[in-house]
Amino acid sequence: MVYYESPKNTVRVELGNRYLAALYAWLLPGAGHFYQRRYTKGLLFSITVLTTYFIGFWLGDGRVVYASWKKHDWRWQFVAQCFVGAPTFPALIQALQTDEKSPPLWIRNYRYPPNDKTNPAYSRITEPSELKRLGKSAIPDGFMAAPFGEVSPTEPDVLAAWHAELGHYFDIATLYTFVAGLLNLLVIYDAFAGPGMYLEGTEEEDGESGSAEEDES
Amino acid sequence: MMQLLTSHYMHLLPLIAATSIVYGATRDERPIFILSHIVRSAIWMTVFLGIIMVVLAVLGWLIQ
């Protein structure tokens, strides 16, 4: 069994299988602490990280968490967002399933194509009859999917339409989900190595940083 | 004052709260010490961001 002991032995935490705890903490924020029976901290982490993530998700209308490696839309923020774990898995599934030609899974709505003469390019289609008229030329918006089609730095595209619809909330929502991911990184580390009680050790000269130790008992 | 309350800076408050809670809770295991760390983290983060905001505001005012 692995234990964490603080510098002055005031705190002793049973970490269990800490690799498994870290995996659980990544899969669902707080789950690693529940596995270690640190219920209060687990609940605190779970509520805080998931609330931050879902506020961002809501502010961004569910569009700011997606994985994309396109030329002009390399979504580096997803690297941090994916540390929230399971709530970001649909974006990974979309990234693996969807490419330039195949439509995304779980389509939420459709948009007018750029060559449609009666409506603004990339605006949302609200009438079912319009969708029928356009057929396969309608552009799909998938749940947690990257913007469909090519992204251009100069021409209108789906990503530009998202930015136009959400305004500054696109960036604020990205920030919230990004920060939630980074916070869960701290939570994962706490589940793996115990609390970072370095301040306790710096108060007196004999203090050393806390450590995780193997204990036969 | 009303302009500040309705500005985008208000979006920082939940982020400061969340960051303070998580960071503070990873510093200790005992609730009273966790609470102390949360309060201290929130204060220094607010002061740090406040200083940056003031510097940017002054720079903006000088450029105008």
Which contacts of A92-100 are long-range, i.e. CB under 8 A and separated by 24 or more positions?
Answer: A92/A67, A94/A66, A94/A67, A94/A142, A94/A143, A94/A144, A94/A145, A94/A146, A95/A66, A95/A67, A95/A68, A95/A69, A95/A146, A98/A142, A98/A145, A98/A146, A98/A148, A100/A149, A100/A150
Per-residue tens of pLDDT for chain B, all 64 residues: 566 666 778 889 999 999 999 999 999 888 999 999 999 999 999 999 999 999 998 999 999 8
Within 8 A by CB and 6+ apart from B21, the residues are A44, A48, B38
Q: How many Å lie between the alpha carbon of B64 and the closest alpha carbon of chain A?
A: 24
Every domain of chain A and the residues it spans: 2-92+166-214
Residue from the list A40, A52, A194 with its beta carbon closest to the beta carbon of B18 = A52
pLDDT of residue A204: 43
Q: Are A137 and A171 in contact (CB under 8 A)?
A: no
* A31-73 pLDDT per residue, tens: 999 999 999 999 999 999 999 999 999 999 999 999 988 888 8
> Sign of torsion, CA A25 A27 A31 A36?
negative
In a domain, B3, yes or no: no
* A164-199 pLDDT per residue, tens: 999 999 999 999 999 999 999 999 999 999 888 765
* A106-144 pLDDT per residue, tens: 989 899 988 888 888 888 888 888 888 888 888 899 899
Contact assignment for A195 to B21 by CB distance below 8 Å: no
pLDDT of residue A134: 85
Contact assignment for A40 to B11 by CB distance below 8 Å: no
Residues of chain B with Cβ-Cβ distance to A49 below 8 Å are 18, 22
Q: What share of chain A is helix, strand, coil (3-state, %, to 5)?
A: 50, 10, 40
Q: How many Å lie between the alpha carbon of A44 and the closest alpha carbon of chain B?
A: 8
Residues of chain B with Cβ-Cβ distance to A6 below 8 Å are 29
pLDDT of residue B1: 59
In a domain, B7, yes or no: no
- Structural domain range at position B54: 12-63
Rounded distance, CA B33 to CA B11, Å?
A: 27
User: Closest chain A residue to B29 measured between Cα atoms?
Assistant: A195
Residue from the list A44, A172, A200 with its beta carbon closest to the beta carbon of B11 = A172
Interface probe for A, chosen from B22, B36, B45 (most Cβ of A below 10 Å), is B22
| Burial (Cβ within 10 Å: 0-12, 13-18, ≥19) of residue A92 | middle
Contact assignment for A190 to B31 by CB distance below 8 Å: no
